[in-house]
Amino acid sequence: MDPFDSNNTDRSNLPRNMIENRMFEEEPDVVDLAKDSTTFPTCQALDPDDVVYEPRSSRLLVRGLGENDLDEDDEECESSARLLGMSFMNRSAAHRSCSSPYTRSCARPSARTLTVCMLFLVIVASMTMVLYFLPGCTFTRSGCPKTNKTTPFEQVYPLSTNGEVFPWAQLRLPRSIRPLSYDLTLNPDLDNATFTGRTTISMSVLHNTKCIVLHSAYLNITKATFKLGDGEARDVTVLEYKAREQIAVQFTEVLRTGQACVLTLDYSANLSHTYDGFYNSSYTEEDGSKRVLAATQFEPLSARKAFPCFDAPDFKATFLIRIRRKPNHLSLSNMPKAKSTQLPNGLIEDEFEKTSVNMSTYLVAFIVANFTHISRNVSETQVSVYSVPEKWEHTEYALDTACKLLEFYNDFFEINYPLKKLDLVAIPDFLAGAMENWGLITFRETSLLVGKQSSPLEKQVVASVIAHELAHQWFGNLVTMRWWNDLWLNEGFATYMQYMSLQTVFPQLDIGNLFLAVRFRALDKDALNSSHAVSTEVNKPEQVEEMFDSVSYEKGASILLMLNASLPGDQQFRKGIIQYLKEFSGLNTDTSDLWNSLTQVEVSAQHPNVSDMMSSWTSQKGFPLVTVSRKGGQVTLTQEHFQLASDNAMQTSSLWNIPVTYVTDNCSVAPECRRTFYLKTKSATLKDLPESVKWLKLNYRNTGFYISHYEDEGWAALINALSNDVGVLTHEDRASLVHNMFALSRLGRVSFHQVLHLLKYMSNETHTSPVTEALLQLGVIYRLLDQRQEHRLVARMKSYILHQFGSLMDQQTWEEEHSVSKQELRSALLGMACSLNEEKCIKRAQALFKQYVESNGTSRIPGDLQQVVFTVAAQSNEDWATLLSMYARVTYDAEKRKMLRGLASTQDARLIVWILKAGLMGDVIQTQELPLVISTVCNGFTGYLFVWDFIQENWDNLIEKFPVGSFAIQTIIKSAASQFSTQAHLDQVQGFFYSLKERGSQMRTVQEALETIRLNQRWMEKNLATLTKWL
C-alpha cells in the first residue's frame, strides 16, 4: 500500500533530497535523468505499492528515472527549485546530452558580475538552509509552510560496482520482464570447491523498458550476450549492485511489449561454505575415508547464489538443467535424467528433462554426491530415498511412509502429483529440517533415516517431516504465495496437512498430542507485542528470513484447524481447498485468494462469510482473550487482545470474529456436546443457557486460537469438577485449562495461587498432554528461579514438583514401550525427575548407561529414554568422555543427536566452553547442530551465562554461518535471552544488540528477546512473595 496519497493534486515534486545529503560535506554528484534520458535509459515505471527509497546517505543521488515527461505543475516546481539553487547538475560533460536544455554558451563574466553572483549564491544558500530546516515545509502554489503528508522522497538510485548508475532502487524486481525458461549448465569442482556455469534465460517483455534487472550474488560473470527476437546475439555489459544482490543490463533501444528475448550469462563462483546456495559438504565413512558432495538450499533468497535468475516466488518458469560430474559421482535434480554424455575431459554431463511445470527459483535443486537409493513406483510416480551408502538400511521406513502419504494426498486433493519422480534425499550436512524442492526433497539425516529398532516416537518425527514436505508439493509448489509476506500459505497449510494426514494414514503415531503442544507454543509466541500478523509486510532480506517462524507455521496451521472445526460437515473445508488448488494451479496467490475460494463453497446460512471471519485472524497480530461472566442463566462473553506486555489491553481496538465453542456439565466430552457461538463484537450474550448448568468450558478440544478466562466462580466450578472426575473433560480440554491458567498468571489476571490450586487435580491425571504441559510450565519457572539463585525457592519448587507428580513418576517403567503417547509421558516425567536429581531416577539411568557401554552398544536403551540416560551420564566427567567417544562412532543419527544434547547438558564449565567452540568450528560437532547445542546449554545453571558471552564474542562468525534473521539465529537469541529475568541482564542484552546496527539490531527476534526478559522480570517481581507463601 502506498503510504502517500498519489491523487493529491496539491503536492509538489520539489526534490528536497537533493540538498539533504551531507550538506556540509563535499557536494555530491546529482544526475537529473528526467532531463538526461539519452545517457541513462529508462526502466518500466514503478507501481506505487512497490516504491522503496534509498537512505539519505547515498553518495550519488539520481532523480526522475523512468519519468521523462513533466506536467505543468512539475515544470513550475522544477523552475522554482532551479531558482533556489536546489538542483545541482553533474559537472561532467560525459553525462550531458548535447541537446540538453541545461547547456549554455556565454561570454566570460566580469569581476563585478562574479562578486554579485557570489553574494546572490550566499543569500540563496542561507535561505535554502533556513527553508530546509523548517520541518515538513513543502513548496506549493499556495505558499510555504504547508505540512507535507503525502509526498514521498524522490527515488534515489545507487551506484553499481563499476561506478555507473544502477537503474533500479528497490528490493523487488521490476515487472517489465517475465522469464519463460532457464537453460542451466553447471560444472562443479568438488575438489577445489568451485563451480562454473552458463545460464540462458528466455524472456518475454510485458511492458516497454530499456533495462533488464535480475538477481545474482557472489557470481563472477565473465561473459554476457543478449538476443532480441530473431536478431543476432551481441555482447552486453552487466551492471551489479551488490547490496541488493541485483544485476542489470541496459539498452539504448526500447524493449517493447510482447517481444521475446534471450540473455545468456557465463560465470564462475566458489561453492558456498555455509548452508545456502550451492554449497559443499563432506562426511566420513566407516573406514575413515572422507567423501565430498555438493547440494543446494535455495529458499528463500539463495538461488541467485547458484545461477543468475529472477529470484522471487512469482517469477515462475521452466528449467532445463545439465550437470557435469566425475564418473564416481551421481547427480540429481528436480526432473528425471534424460541422457548422460561422456565428455572429452573425462567428465560426464547429465541432462535432465525439462520441468513439466512452471516453478519458482527457490524450488530448483541439484546434488552431486556418492549416494545410494531404494525405489518404489506409486501412482505412476517413482519414489526413491537416497542416503550415503553406509546408511541405506535406514531408508525403508521413509520410503514406505512417503508412498502411503503420496497416495493419500493424490486422493485428498483430487489432483495427482504432477512429476514423474519424487526423490527424498538425506544430506549429511543440512541446516534446515527439510526442503520441499519439487521432485527432489532434501532432508537432514535425522529427519529421514530411522533404524529398524527405532522407537515409535522416532518414527513419528520422521513421518511428520515427510508429511509436511509432501504437502508442499501442492501447497507451495503447485500453488505458491505471491510474495514472502504470505509465507503462511505455504507453511501454515503444510503444517496443518502434516498433522491431519498422519491422523488418518498413521493413527498409531498418535500425532494429536504433538499438534496440541505446538498450538500452545504458537499462542505463547503470539502473545508478545513483538509478534506479527500472519500476513505482514516484508521489505528487507532479513524480514524474509524472519517469516520462517511459529506464526507462519503453527499459528497458520492453528487458524486452519479452527476454520475447519467451525465449518458445517466434515467435507466443506476439503471442498474449499480443492477449489483453491484447481483454480490457482501453477499460479501465485495471496491470502484473499484462499479465503475467497473457501467462501465460494456452499455453507449454511448460519455460518459467517469465511473471508469476513478469517481476515481478522491474518491481518492483525495476536489473538483474543475471551472472558466469561455469568449471572444466572445469562452468560456474557467479552473479547480483548491478549497481550502480555500491555497494561491496558482492554483499551485496544483489536477485534476478532471468533467461532467460540463450548460444552457444559450436562454434556462435555462427545463431539455432539459442542455448541458454537460467533463472537463478532466486543461483548455478546449467550442466551438460553439453563440456570441448572453448573459450569461451562470454552474452546472445545482447544480447536480455537484463543485463551479463555472465567470469573472466580467459573474457575472454581471447573477445578471442582476435575477434582471429582478427571474424565469430565477431554484430555485436550484439561491441557488447555492448564495452559490458559499459566498464561493468565503471566498476564496478571489470576494469581499463582490459583495455578497451584488447579494443579492439585494432577495426582489423578494419567493422560500425556495435561501432564507434559504442566511439567513444561513448571520447568520454565524452576529454571528462572535457579538462575536467579533463589535457592530457598528452588528447593521448595523441587519438593512441590516431586510431591505433585511423584506417584506418576514412580509408575513409569524403564523397559520398551510401544505406545507413542505413553512414551511421551514417560520421557517427560523421568526427564523432570532426573533433572531434579531424584535419587531413584538417577540410579536407574546410570545403571542403564553402564549396561549400554559394557555391552558395546548391543544392549539397547529404549529410544524415548535415551535422552534421559545420556543427560544423566554427562554429569559425570568420566561418563561425559565416554559419551563423546561414542558420539564420534555412532552412525544412527537420532541416537547421535540425543548424545549431543546429553554432552551439552554438562554443568562443567570447561566442557561447556569446549562444546560451544567445537560447534562453531564444525570439526567434531557439525555447525548445523550449534543452535541445538546452545539451546541445551542454556537450560543449565552453569551454562546460560557462558552462552551469552559466547554469542557476544562470536556474533560475526555466527551471522557468517547463519543468515541474519534465519531460524537458526532466532533459536540462538531466544535460547539465551529467555533465561534472563533481571534489569542488569536486560541492559546488557539491549546494549549489545543495539550496537550491532545493520548486523542484527533491527531483527524482530531481538525485540522478542527483550520483551521476554521484561516479562520474566515482571513475573518474578509480582510472584516471588506468592511462591514463598504457597510452595
The residues annotated as belonging to the active site are 469
Output the CA torsion 443→445→447→453 (10° steps).
Answer: 150
The C-alpha atoms of residue 798 and residue 868 are separated, in whole angstroms, by 18
Place of cell 534515489: 156
Count of beta carbons in the 10 Å neighbourhood of residue 449: 27
Residue 1006 parent element (H or E): helix 1004-1030
Contact 477, 299 (CB under 8 A): no
Count of beta carbons in the 10 Å neighbourhood of residue 229: 9
Main-chain phi, psi angles of 658, to 5 degrees: -105, 120
Task: Find how far residue 536's CA is from the centre of its chain.
Answer: 12
Output the CA torsion 716→718→719→722 (10° steps).
Answer: 160
The C-alpha atoms of residue 388 and residue 384 are separated, in whole angstroms, by 13
Longest dimension (CA), the chain: 106
Count of beta carbons in the 10 Å neighbourhood of residue 170: 18
Count of beta carbons in the 10 Å neighbourhood of residue 537: 11
Cβ burial of 858 (10 Å; 0-12, 13-18, 19+) is exposed
Contact 213, 41 (CB under 8 A): no
Q: Report long-range pairs for 507-513 (Cβ below 8 Å, ≥24 apart).
A: 508/456, 508/820, 509/456, 509/459, 509/460, 509/463, 509/820, 510/460, 510/819, 510/820, 510/821, 511/460, 511/464, 512/732, 513/768, 513/769, 513/772, 513/820, 513/821, 513/824
DSSP string of 294-305? EEEE-TTTTGGG
Place of cell 497451584: 756
Q: Which residues contact 112 (CB under 8 A, 6 or more apart)?
A: none
The C-alpha atoms of residue 1022 and residue 1031 are separated, in whole angstroms, by 15
Place of cell 512539475: 74
Name the packing angle between helices 556-566 and 512-526 (round to 10°). Answer: 120
Strands ordered across the beta sheet of 330-333: 277-284, 290-297, 366-369, 330-333
Contact 902, 883 (CB under 8 A): yes
Smallest CA-to-CA distance from 213 within 314, 308, 109, 290 is with 308
Place of cell 514412580: 810
* 400: its cell numbers: 514406505
Smallest CA-to-CA distance from 973 within 1007, 942, 941 is with 1007
Query: Per this entry, what is the length of the chain?
Result: 1031
Sign, CA dihedral 332-333-337-340, equals negative
Count of beta carbons in the 10 Å neighbourhood of residue 1009: 24
C-alpha pair distances (Å), 277 with each of 214, 217, 920 = 16, 9, 20
Three-class SS state of 847: helix
Q: Which residues contact 557 (CB under 8 A, 6 or more apart)?
A: 492, 493, 495, 496, 498, 499, 515, 518, 519
